[in-house]
């Protein structure tokens, strides 16, 4: 399904670009010629206001011509370089919080055309530990953000709040599950979580990042996604070719690959690289103030994303 906003942006860029080109090489010279001819016939010099009334410029053409450079810059930046996103949920806590505004590097996983996300120029593939934005496979109008856990060919197990991996490998000695290194960082209360959470430092590939788990919440294995073509346990998955297994850092409050399956490579939007601003929002229990009004800026959260 096409990205509606991207489609609108492409159409606007195309239409205003055509108007700009035609005006530059046809309509503009015609206006200037008509005004110059009027100036040559006049016995006195004509001021700018008078000249502007001769062969006047259509207001639609004028606006389209003026907007084209701005729209073109936005189109290039948003489609091929960087796109801003707002974090709407706590599924990536503590790495990302509600109110964080992030930049996503669009070319990290290849230069793609903006509407259907087909790769035009391959650049690189996701690595374990990347924080990636992608089109939700069950509704591609929605953008999701999760951490890349499993690459194509990997076997992934999530059991008793512990993550295990068998990286894709053709050697016989690679067939043993290895638990990811986890170091307890104690407990912490998060405003968006009802319970006190346990915080861990987890090492995934070359990336060390924080995760949180709720010790009082059981794993919902009955709702886990089950592969039809691979015989596995309920808590085990084999990542198909051209797909990725993703999870939220808030392990007990994240709708991720455990529940709906894998992310096709074509769905990848880009890699989250930085938080450029972060707002704290009002939590007005009386309903007197809108919840979207920022109450403060969290300057300490501005910076790169790990």
Omega cis (within 30) before 94: yes
Q: How far apart are CA 41 and CA 44, in angstroms?
A: 9
Give dist(CA 85, CA 83) in Å, integer.
7
CB atoms < 10 A from the CB of 160, how many? 7
Among residues 91, 108, 254, 278, which one is catalytic? 91
Among this protein's residues, is 306 annotated catalytic? Answer: no
CA atoms within 13 A on the CB side of 177: 14
* 186 contact partners, CB below 8 Å, separation of at least 6: 198, 199
For residues 177 and 157, what is the distance between their CA atoms, to the nearest angstrom?
8
Q: Which of 106, 112, 146, 271 is catalytic?
A: 146
Q: CB–CB of 82/107 below 8 Å? A: no
DSSP string spanning 215-252? TTS---GGGS---SSS---TTEEEPPTTEEEEE-SBTT
Distance CA 55, CA 38 (A): 10
Query: Do residues 270 and 109 touch, judged by C-beta distance below 8 A?
Result: yes
Q: Clarify whether 91 is annotated catalytic.
A: yes
DSSP string, 32-81: HHHHHHHHHH-SSPPPHHHHHTSSPPPHHHHHHHHHHHHHHHHHHIIIII
Catalytic residues: 91, 146
């Amino acid at each position: 399904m096409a990205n509606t906003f991207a489609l609108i942006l492409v159409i606007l860029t195309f239409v205003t670009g055509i108007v700009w080109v035609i005006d530059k090489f046809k309509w503009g010279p015609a206006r200037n010629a008509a005004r110059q001819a009027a100036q040559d016939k006049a016995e006195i010099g004509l001021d700018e206001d008078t000249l502007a009334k001769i062969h006047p410029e259509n207001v639609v053409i004028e606006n389209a011509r003026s907007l084209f450079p701005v729209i073109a810059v936005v189109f290039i930046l948003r489609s091929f370089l960087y796109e801003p996103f707002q974090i709407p949920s706590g599924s990536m806590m503590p790495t990302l919080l509600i109110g964080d505004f992030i930049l996503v590097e669009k070319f990290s996983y290849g230069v793609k055309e903006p509407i259907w996300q087909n790769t035009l120029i391959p650049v690189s593939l996701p690595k374990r530990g990347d924080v990636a934005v992608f089109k939700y496979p069950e509704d591609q109008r929605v953008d999701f953000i999760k951490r890349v856990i499993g690459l194509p060919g990997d076997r992934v197990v999530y059991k008793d709040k512990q993550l295990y991996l068998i990286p894709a490998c053709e050697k016989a000695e690679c067939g043993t599950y290895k638990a990811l290194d986890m170091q307890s960082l104690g407990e912490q209360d998060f405003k968006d979580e009802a319970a006190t959470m346990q915080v861990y430092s987890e090492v995934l590939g070359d990336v060390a990042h924080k995760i949180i788990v709720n010790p009082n919440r059981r794993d919902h294995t009955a709702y886990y996604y089950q592969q039809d073509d691979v015989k596995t346990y309920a808590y085990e998955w084999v990542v198909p070719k051209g797909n990725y297994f993703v999870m939220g850092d808030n392990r007990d409050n994240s709708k991720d690959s455990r529940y709906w399956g894998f992310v096709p490579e074509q769905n990848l939007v880009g890699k989250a690289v930085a938080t450029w601003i972060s707002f704290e929002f009002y939590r007005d229990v009386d309903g007197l103030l809108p919840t979207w009004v920022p109450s403060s800026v969290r300057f300490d959260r501005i910076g790169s994303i790990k």
